[in-house]
Amino acid sequence: MSSKSPQGPDNTTRNLVIGMVVLVVAVGAIFSVLGNKTSSSAALPSNVSKADGYGIVFNGDLTGVPVVDIWEDFQCPVCARFEQTNSAYLEKIIAEKKAKVVFHTLSFLGTESALAANAAACASDEDKFLGFHSAFYQNQPAENSGAVTVDYLVGLGQGIGITSDKYKSCVANLDYKDWVNNVASSGAEKNINSTPTVLVNGKEIQRATSATDLGQYFDPAAFAQAVEGN
């Protein structure tokens, strides 16, 4: 999978490691696009758990397994790198019911992030969240380039087999905009200040520190060890 570097000046502070290693986008705990109050009346997409920070949950019924929380922004190039590195493993442990995995789609990089997060929720209703997640990051447009539009998101859905009028309407009408806001509020409450941020059983995994130390974010074996604890 690939990611494209944003063009023009960044609105966030990025830490980039030399060579192939990319660190997180440090954005601070400021959610300027959306409000910071949770709406109790927000419409919720399928598989969302209020108790899990309004995240989209896979294997929420499991007990005694690792809980992996992934906080991300669809416009974040480093999130695309994380997805490229670890998506196959995440999909495997979801399918094999070896972990509870919770995706938190944040939106602090701009309106296009909010549009993408809403569309991901619409895709969740079609049981296509993981497909949308993968397709978006594979084709991630440059940050705030104006490329993420309703037509773009509808077309992305069609590419993974979503052709329903319900999905098109959900994307166009921003049916889950209040839910997107609730995810942002939850992230602020938890002081999530970088994307991606990954927690295993409530504890953040190790970040990279140099070009030779990939940490647990961008080393597949180390990430699996962080999740499985062995």
Arithmetic mean of pLDDT, 138-148: 96
The neighbouring-strand residues paired with 101 are 58, 68
Looking at residue 212, its pLDDT comes to: 78
Mapped onto helix, strand or coil, the DSSP state of residue 18 is: coil
Classify residue 89 by burial, with Cβ atoms within 10 Å: 0-12, 13-18, 19+: middle
Mean pLDDT, rounded, of the chain:
86
Looking at residue 140, its pLDDT comes to: 97
36, part of any domain: no
Looking at residue 230, its pLDDT comes to: 62
130, part of any domain: yes
61, part of any domain: yes
1, part of any domain: no
Rounded Cα distance, 215 and 171, in Å: 36
Half-sphere exposure of 79 (CA within 13 A, CB side): 31
Taking the C-alpha atoms of 90, 52, 58 and 194 in order, what is their torsion angle to the nearest 10 degrees? Answer: -30
- pTM of the prediction? 0.84
Rounded Cα distance, 94 and 88, in Å: 10
8, part of any domain: no
pLDDT tier at 180, thresholds 50, 70, 90: very high
Position with higher pLDDT, 4 vs 60: 60
In tens, the pLDDT along 9-46 reads: 333 333 333 233 333 333 333 333 444 577 888 999 99
Per DSSP, the chain holds a count of helices (H) and strands (E) of 7, 9
Looking at residue 192, its pLDDT comes to: 95
Rounded Cα distance, 172 and 153, in Å: 9
Arithmetic mean of pLDDT, 71-84: 97
110, part of any domain: yes
pLDDT tier at 69, thresholds 50, 70, 90: very high
Looking at residue 213, its pLDDT comes to: 84
Contact 114, 107 (CB under 8 A): yes
**Residue 109 lies in domain:** 13-28+46-225
Looking at residue 181, its pLDDT comes to: 95
7, part of any domain: no
| Domains identified in the chain, total number | 1
Arithmetic mean of pLDDT, 172-189: 96
Contact partners, residue 28, CB within 8 Å, separation at least 6: 12, 13, 193
Arithmetic mean of pLDDT, 59-72: 97
Mapped onto helix, strand or coil, the DSSP state of residue 45 is: coil
Per 3-state DSSP, the chain is made up of helix, strand and coil in percentages (nearest 5) of: 40, 15, 45
Question: For position 169, which CATH number holds?
Answer: 3.40.30.10
